[in-house]
Amino acid sequence: MIKINGLYKQFDQLQVLKGIDLEVEKGKVVVVIGPSGSGKTTMLRCLNVLETPTKGVISISGQSLDFSKAVPKKDIASFRRLTGMVFQSYNLFPHKTALENVMEGPIVVKGVNKETARKKAEILLEKVGLADKQDYYPAQLSGGQQQRVGIARALAMEPEVMLFDEPTSALDPELVGEVLKVMKDLAAEGMTMIVVTHEMRFAREAADEVIFMDQGVVVERNKPDEIFTNPKEERTRKFLNMIQ
Ligand code: ADP
């Protein structure tokens, strides 16, 4: 479903990604862990082409972009639709209701008619447990509720893959569970997901594989049981010792 080959990203003098290779099969959940600044967010943003990689090839669901060459804008636009992104900071439109936030993408980007977009948005808000909050504005919702709207909004575009960038990091601890539950339900339904998170319990319970990144490379990847109980690399062991 996802294939990354030789992905590099440089900001000015700073080489942030130094040759990432990664494959993710359809329906799998991959959790990415690693120290702050190791390039986890940058890798996700490259997959969504919010950042333009310096070089490398990214393929998702049969569509491929090769960043060693100039990539046409229209190719980027269609590629971006393959992934849905959920941000740490929710990024909802503050002047739109929950329902309008979820309807916006399909109407504006896909040209879906308003009634169809509304029906779909209602179903998605119900799915994330917010049927009764559809007419609320973001400021009237808790962080956990806003993030669930964020997930519904990403799903409304019917992506092949969902990318989560520290989706619970900004939440009060008592609100983390409700967001993780929605993510676990999605995983159980067979959604292909890449999740950058510090929630090791989520990684243990929901991940098919855990990837440990450090200094712009994938240091180790393994099943959660293996990587948490028996990390092969010294750097992984050190990181896990620090956070557990
Ligand atoms: P992580 O998600 O693992 O914490 P990031 O991908 O956010 O790491 O950041 C990796 C490095 O790239 C950091 O040193 C960060 O300061 C730098 N970086 C990220 N985005 C930019 C940017 N837009 N411009 C310059 N440097 C950036």
pLDDT in tens, 185-243: 999 999 999 999 999 999 999 999 999 999 999 999 999 999 999 999 999 999 999 98
Tell me, in angstroms, the distance from the centre of ligand 1 to residue 14's CA: 9
Tell me, in angstroms, the distance from the centre of ligand 1 to residue 56's CA: 18
Tell me, in angstroms, the distance from the centre of ligand 1 to residue 136's CA: 34
Q: How far apart are CA 67 and CA 175, in angstroms?
A: 39
End-to-end CA distance of the chain: 32
Q: What local confidence, expressed as pLDDT, does residue 239 receive?
A: 95
List Cβ neighbours of 230 (8 Å cut-off, separation of 6 or more). none
Q: What local confidence, expressed as pLDDT, does residue 243 receive?
A: 86
Q: Is domain 2-243 annotated with CATH 3.30.2320.50? A: no
Helices (H) and strands (E) in the chain, counts: 9, 10
Residues at CB less than 6 angstroms from ligand 1 = 11, 14, 16, 34, 36-42
- Give the pair of three-digit tokens for residue 120: 């779909």
H-type alpha helices, 111-172: 114-127, 143-156
- Give the pair of three-digit tokens for residue 32: 């990415």
Decide: helix, strand or coil at residue 190: coil
| 244 has a pLDDT exceeding 80 | no
- β-bridge pairing 14-24 and 2-11: antiparallel
Nearest residue by C-alpha to atom 26 in ligand 1: 11
Q: How far apart are CA 188 and CA 198, in angstroms?
A: 20
Nearest residue by C-alpha to atom 22 in ligand 1: 11
Q: Which residues pair with 209 in a beta bridge?
A: 30
Nearest residue by C-alpha to atom 27 in ligand 1: 11
